[in-house]
Chains A and B, each alone.
Chain A
Amino acid sequence: MKYPESHPDLAAFVLGGLEAEEARRHLASCSRCRDELEGLEKVNRALEAAPPPVDPPAYLKDEILSRMRVEKRSRSNYVDSKKPSKTHRSYRSKYLGVVLPSVAAAAMVAIVALGIFFGLAREQAPVATIRLIPTPEEAAGLDGYWGVAKIRPQASDNQQVELRLNNFDEPEPDSYYELWFVSGDRRISAGSFTSVGKGETRVWLNAPPEVRSFDTLLITEEQLDSATASGTAVALEGEMPGR
């Protein structure tokens, strides 16, 4: 529908940008605009229910594809382990009663072993995914940055931390990064690393079981010539979920 010049801008009216009195005077005498306004107000109400216009973090698509690959491999291993070999087929009728249960048992052992392997290896689903937010000083120089830390428990009860940092600046010369778990005055280091700058840095670090109850993750920049890491020059921080 095209608005004639003499009709008010009803979209602006709905958004509160038009003199209400002027529009109301017109609406009192124009049924077409009243109908039009009714429709626009419905759109207005619908838009108020709209979800926030936020893109999901870029790493999620890769994460989904990666989990699909792992699952496909697991399925294919399962199918392979269920397939009887040619030798088995030729003896099937003779040894069916003996071989089949053995093969099934072996397959089950293999499946359980694979399950344990995948369950405890780094491809296990993380128990927590933490967004790492740059401090305001750090954020000023970052372009296209995103970062997450994924926590996975290990068989030893240690916590593996997978760090994925995109476009995270390299440390200054003679510096490195340190990952900390922090809770009040307590802090435990999960290890040191450096970043590649442009593109994705992906590292795996480890922390003791106690960090599961800690509140915060910090990434600090440390001096190589310092005897101990100070943990004060914070570049990134993230909150553990459920805290």
Chain B
Amino acid sequence: MSITVGDVLESEKKSRGLRPVTSGRMDALSDEQCMIRLDGPEVEAAIAQLYDRYGRTVFGVGLKILGDHSLAEELIQEVFLKVWRSSSTFDPSLGSFSTWLFRVTRSVALDLYRKRARRVHPIPEGDSHIATMRDRSAGPQEIVDESWLSWRVSRALETLDAPHREVIELAYFGGLSQREISQRTGVPLGTVKTRTAKAFRSLREELSLGDAWQVATR
């Protein structure tokens, strides 16, 4: 069965609606508080919360680095198991949890890339949206190094609320014009334009806070 970008976005919309809600008590926890709880009785709730918060970014960046669904699935499992096993090595005074998690993801991705290098196979037809995003001329280290920008952009997109994220995703991953977004979503064209402009400004502010800006603009 062939999977189109539209299908991906449609399933994405559905899955957001079904995204599990964690308990109220755990909802209030910061990333750092979750990390502390990885060494206690609330370990599963804490790792589940970190997964809900970062799973999409880890998986998306994994797909981009590895270009393969099965490997990205292996990556996300290994990353969160490593987060649990290595929680004591996380020092919030040295940087944010997001940055630390990116390093873990990068390290696991590089290991997987090298380990499976001989088993690389053609990307199935249905995964053409992934194939187009993978620069096959780049080496593993180069791909992994560039993933910091992907990580930051993914995190920045997560900060947008659903209507603003939707217009950006439909434009960049669905390849739709603003008029087509309006027709697809039933939202007036003027509103689509306003949301796009606002989303762009929010992303600019979010990305300007970190290293991604320098990487993006070099």
Contacts and interface: CB of A to CB of B under 8 A. Distances in A.
Interface of A: 1, 3, 9-12, 14-17, 39-40, 42-43, 45-58, 60-61, 63-65, 67-68, 71, 128-131, 133-136, 139, 144, 239, 241-243
B122 to A, nearest CB: 9
B150 A56 contact: no
Given A43-B200, A49-B150, A52-B133, A64 B168 contact: no
26 contacts: A12-B193, A15-B178, A17-B179, A43-B200, A43-B207, A45-B216, A46-B149, A46-B152, A46-B153, A46-B203, A48-B172, A49-B146, A51-B60, A51-B63, A51-B150, A52-B129, A52-B173, A61-B51, A65-B48, A128-B70, A131-B69, A133-B3, A134-B1, A136-B1, A241-B68, A242-B121
Contact of A64 (B81, B152, B153, B201): B81
Contacts of A128: 70
Given A43-B207, A60-B77, A242-B121, A52 B200 contact: no
A47 B197 contact: no
Given A42-B216, A45-B216, A139-B1, A17 B200 contact: no
Given A54-B8, A64-B47, A9 B197 contact: yes
B176 to A, nearest CB: 10
Contacts of B207: 42-43, 46
B140 interface: no
**Which size class do B's interface residues fall under?**
35 or more
B130 interface: yes
B27 interface: no
Interface in B1-19: 1, 3, 8-9, 11-12, 14-16, 18
Nearest to B207: A46
Contacts of A129: 70, 73-74
B37 to A, nearest CB: 13
A54 B204 contact: no
Given A42-B213, A133-B126, A15 B171 contact: yes
Report the 5 A-B pairs with minimum CB-CB distance, sorted nearest first.
Answer: A51-B60, A56-B59, A46-B216, A11-B197, A50-B153
Secondary structure call for the B interface: helix
Secondary structure call for the A interface: mixed
B73 A12 contact: no
Interface of B: 1, 3, 8-9, 11-12, 14-16, 18, 43-44, 47-48, 51-52, 55-61, 63-64, 68-70, 72-74, 76-77, 80-81, 84-85, 119, 121, 124, 126, 129-130, 133, 146, 149-150, 152-154, 156-157, 168-169, 171-173, 177-179, 193, 196-197, 199-201, 203-204, 207, 212-213, 216-217
Given A45-B217, A135-B1, 4 more contacts: A11-B197, A47-B168, A49-B149, A52-B60
B177 A15 contact: yes
Nearest to A49: B149
Contacts of A61: 48, 51-52, 55
Contact of B196 (A15, A45, A46, A136): A15
Contacts of B70: 128-131, 241
B44 A50 contact: no
B213 A53 contact: no
Contacts of B77: 60, 63-64, 67
A53 B203 contact: no
A3 B197 contact: yes
Nearest to A236: B1
Given A14-B200, A15-B196, A43-B203, A68 B179 contact: no
B204 A53 contact: no
B18 A144 contact: yes
Contacts of A133: 1, 3, 126
